[in-house]
């Protein structure tokens, strides 16, 4: 969880009622609406595996360093156990032609009560600087969305810090709608204090 306020935007991917690939179908509906990934863009995005832990750790550290967050607390063993090997976490990675990792995305299931539907909350989305603007981030979100659709999700929650205007513009190009929110996190000793409170 990022500890600074981030802007939340929702990308709805469900089809119109009655269209192919609707609410109960594991197959997404036919394309309509926002432009798809540009023809000729070839990016391999897939579910992360245990063998990716060390390379994934490097990308996680790069993201956290870029965001001004701690970047040296996580180990490769924790990445393998807590992210890749955790059934409640979804981790996708993007590969270059030589098989090296160039980006990743993490997500976990969520539920939107206002729309009575399941979705995925995207925690991290990162592409190495040398590979940006080549369709990598879109491919990562696409594979997340396809995975989510097969398990009943019908939206992605996407967040970015307030000054990350490049992320805001990218999310809008996906067809998402921005929504101003103020995020709070109860952390460290405050979290422990809250957890220790006895029910009254």
Q: What is the rounded CA–CA span in Å between residue 12 and residue 33?
A: 11
Helix, strand and coil percent figures for the chain, each rounded to 5:
30, 25, 40
- Report the run of H or E that residue 49 belongs to, with start and end: none
Q: What is the rounded CA–CA span in Å between residue 108 and residue 153?
A: 11
Q: What is the rounded CA–CA span in Å between residue 103 and residue 93?
A: 6
Radius of gyration of the chain (CA): 18
Reading the chain (200 residues) residue by residue, the pLDDT tens digits are: 343 333 334 434 333 333 344 555 666 665 455 444 444 456 799 999 999 999 999 999 999 999 999 999 999 999 999 999 999 999 999 999 999 999 999 999 999 999 999 999 999 999 999 999 999 999 999 999 999 999 999 999 998 888 889 999 999 999 888 888 888 889 999 999 999 999 88
**Helical residues (DSSP H) of 2-90, grouped into ranges:** 53-67, 76-78
Q: What is the rounded CA–CA span in Å between residue 148 and residue 156?
A: 9
Maximum CA pair distance of the chain? 61
pTM for this prediction? 0.79
Domains of the chain are 6-25+41-196 (3.40.630.30)
By residue count, the chain amounts to 200
């Amino acid at each position: 969880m990022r500890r600074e306020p981030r802007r939340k935007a929702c990308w709805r991917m469900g089809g119109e009622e009655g269209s192919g690939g609707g609410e109960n179908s594991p197959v997404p509906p036919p394309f309509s609406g926002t432009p798809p990934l540009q023809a000729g863009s070839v990016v391999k995005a897939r579910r992360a595996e245990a063998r990716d832990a060390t390379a994934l750790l490097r990308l996680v550290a790069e993201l956290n360093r870029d965001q001004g967050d701690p970047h040296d607390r996580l180990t490769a063993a924790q990445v393998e156990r807590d992210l890749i090997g955790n059934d409640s976490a979804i981790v996708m990675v993007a590969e270059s032609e030589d098989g090296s990792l160039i980006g990743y995305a993490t997500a976990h299931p969520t539920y939107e009560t206002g729309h009575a539907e399941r979705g995925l909350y995207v925690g991290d989305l990162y592409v190495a600087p040398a590979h940006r603007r080549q369709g990598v981030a879109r491919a990562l979100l696409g594979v997340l969305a396809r995975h989510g659709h097969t398990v009943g999700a019908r939206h992605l929650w996407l967040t970015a810090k307030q000054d990350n205007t490049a992320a805001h513009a990218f999310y809008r190009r996906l067809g998402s709608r921005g929504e101003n929110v103020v995020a709070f996190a109860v952390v460290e000793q405050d979290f422990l204090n809250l957890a220790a409170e006895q029910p009254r």
